[in-house]
């Protein structure tokens, strides 16, 4: 299996990526790190894995009507990410900002592989996305993410649980099985892509301290300036 990581971006800015299962705590930590960086005087741009206007309505219709196969799912989300990358990630990276990215191409690598797509094929589609300066993988057992979902009363959606794959007729059981596949892929690419693994079963404060320590060497000598916070 080839799956070679893409080259580093080479732009003036810095790219910090946060990855992990839903409920792993990555979004909370990304927001906290972004605020800390801005308070420290860095120009910061935060972005999340939200559908772009280009294909969001098409994806919604496809999901609603059950028309998306694993391959079409992959291609649609690749188009969506490419638009997001060109419009919201690349410009601030070129302008010398610290880009804090909640989910990146790694999300596609693990989700598409969990749905049965060939990992090398997926990598080829996302070859335009350069390797970040650091990618954090928030590792947590699937059962804990399910417990957090239930405790937060957030609805588990059909595709998040992998119900379209026919893994189980029970929503929670299907969720555990599908998210287990995703976690297996994350555990694998954490090694191949040299991601920084974070034990996210711990409290918020020690995790945040660990993240700050990890990015300080990357920011050594990096210029500070007017902060820009953006939530997409």
- Residue 205 is predicted with a pLDDT of 98
CA distance to 9, 35, 39, 145, 146, per residue, from 125 (Å): 17, 33, 37, 29, 31
For 177-191, how does the pLDDT look when each residue is reduced to its tens digit (9 = 90+)? Answer: 999 999 999 999 999
For 138-169, how does the pLDDT look when each residue is reduced to its tens digit (9 = 90+)? Answer: 999 999 999 998 888 778 888 889 998 999 99
The C-alpha atoms of residue 158 and residue 156 are separated, in whole angstroms, by 7
Residue among 89, 129, 131, 96 at smallest CA distance from 219: 96
Residue among 85, 90, 183 at smallest CA distance from 140: 183
CA distance to 15, 57, 160, 163, per residue, from 133 (Å): 5, 32, 28, 35
- Residue 135 is predicted with a pLDDT of 98
- Terminus-to-terminus CA distance in the chain, angstroms? 35
Q: Which domains does the chain carry?
A: 14-215 (3.40.50.300)
The C-alpha atoms of residue 80 and residue 166 are separated, in whole angstroms, by 26
Angle at 102 between CA 149 and CA 157, to 5 degrees: 35
For 70-80, how does the pLDDT look when each residue is reduced to its tens digit (9 = 90+)? Answer: 888 888 889 88
The C-alpha atoms of residue 39 and residue 61 are separated, in whole angstroms, by 41
For 92-139, how does the pLDDT look when each residue is reduced to its tens digit (9 = 90+)? Answer: 999 999 999 999 999 999 999 999 999 999 999 999 999 999 999 999
- Residue 229 is predicted with a pLDDT of 41
- Residue 67 is predicted with a pLDDT of 63
């Amino acid at each position: 299996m080839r799956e070679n990581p893409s080259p580093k971006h080479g732009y003036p800015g810095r790219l910090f990526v946060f990855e992990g299962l839903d409920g792993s705590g990555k979004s909370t930590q990304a927001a906290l790190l972004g605020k800390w960086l801005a308070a420290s005087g860095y120009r910061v741009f935060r972005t999340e894995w939200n559908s772009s206007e280009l294909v969001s309505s098409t994806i919604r219709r496809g999901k609603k009507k059950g028309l998306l196969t694993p391959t079409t799912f992959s291609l649609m989300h690749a188009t969506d990410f490419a638009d997001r990358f060109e419009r919201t990630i690349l410009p601030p990276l070129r302008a010398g900002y610290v880009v804090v990215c909640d989910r990146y191409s790694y999300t596609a690598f693990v989700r598409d592989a969990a749905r049965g797509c060939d990992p090398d094929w997926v990598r080829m589609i996302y070859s335009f996305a350069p390797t970040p300066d650091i990618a954090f993988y928030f590792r947590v057992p699937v059962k804990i993410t399910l417990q957090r979902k239930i405790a937060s009363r957030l609805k588990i959606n059909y595709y998040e649980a992998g119900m379209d794959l026919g893994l189980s007729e029970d929503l929670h059981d299907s969720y555990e099985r599908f998210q287990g596949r995703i976690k297996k892929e994350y555990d694998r690419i954490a090694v191949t892509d040299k991601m920084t693994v974070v034990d996210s079963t711990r409290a918020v404060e020690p995790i945040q301290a660990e993240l700050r320590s990890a990015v300080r060497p990357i920011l050594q000598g990096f210029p500070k300036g007017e902060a820009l916070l953006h939530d997409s």
